[in-house]
């Protein structure tokens, strides 16, 4: 169980997803830092947002690697995947390289996007303003079609359920 005070309430299915523009490490882990906008990404496909606590945290490694290891994400050009945490793009780049990730990792360095999505933790083990583990699927109209939030840092989503909703949104 998270030991914290929640700052906001999680978005639910049917809500309008808050727009954002965040710096991030490209899927190819090139040296540049790119700017990623939800509005731009959802023009061509649904967007799966995976909020996670920290790069290199053992449970977050499992979460992000589970997402990476599902070949249906890797092979699906009709779905944009973003990993978002409050870590820096520099940490993201090393994490992506070590884990062989092939989707962008975005830096919500002030926690404002996590707060807008209702997953901000104001403090956890001495770290301030971090993202709680959560999954959102946003369709091309900007509507939240799936939302899930972890009750504890070691809880993982039901990836088969996520896949089913992704397939339903795409059809």
In a domain, 14, yes or no: no
Residues 16-75: pLDDT tens digits?
999 999 999 998 877 889 999 999 999 999 999 999 888 876 554 455 545 544 444 544
Q: Is the pLDDT of residue 136 over 50?
A: yes
Residue 3 has pLDDT above 70, yes or no: no
101 is a domain residue: yes
Domain that holds residue 124: 21-170
Domain assignment present for 26: yes
Average pLDDT, the chain: 83
Q: pLDDT tens digit string along 101-111?
A: 888 999 999 99
- The 10s digit of each residue's pLDDT in 84-99 is 999 999 999 988 888 8
**Residues assigned a catalytic role:** 60
For the chain, the DSSP string reads ---S-B-S----TTSBPPP-EEEEE-TT--S--EEEEHHHHTTTS-EEEEE-S-TT-HHHHHHHHHHHH-HHHHT-TT-EEEEEESS-HHHHHHHHHHHT--S-EEE-TTSHHHHHTT-EEEEETTEEEEEPPEEEEE-TTSBEEEEEE-SSTT----HHHHHHHHHHHH-
Please check whether residue 166 lies inside any domain of the structure.
yes
Q: How many domains does the chain have?
A: 1
The CATH number that applies at residue 109 is 3.40.30.10
Question: 105 lies in a domain?
Answer: yes
Find the mean pLDDT for residues 124-141.
88
For residue 11, tell me if it sits in a domain.
Answer: no
């Amino acid at each position: 169980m998270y030991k914290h005070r929640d700052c906001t309430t999680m978005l639910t299915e049917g809500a309008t997803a808050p727009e954002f523009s965040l710096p991030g490490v490209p899927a190819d882990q090139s040296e540049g830092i790119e700017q990623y906008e939800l509005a731009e990404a959802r023009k061509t496909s649904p967007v799966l947002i995976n909020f996670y606590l920290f790069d290199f945290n053992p449970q977050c490694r499992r979460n992000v690697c589970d997402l990476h290891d599902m070949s249906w994400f890797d092979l699906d050009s009709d779905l944009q995947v973003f990993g978002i945490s409050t870590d820096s793009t520099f940490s993201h780049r090393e994490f992506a390289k070590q884990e062989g990730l092939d989707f962008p990792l975005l830096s919500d360095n002030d926690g404002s996007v996590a707060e807008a999505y209702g997953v901000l933790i104001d403090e956890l083990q001495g770290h301030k303003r971090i993202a709680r583990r959560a999954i959102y699927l946003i369709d091309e109209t900007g509507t939240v079609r799936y939302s899930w939030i972890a009750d504890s840092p070691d809880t993982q989503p039901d990836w088969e359920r996520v896949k089913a909703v992704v397939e339903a949104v795409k059809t």
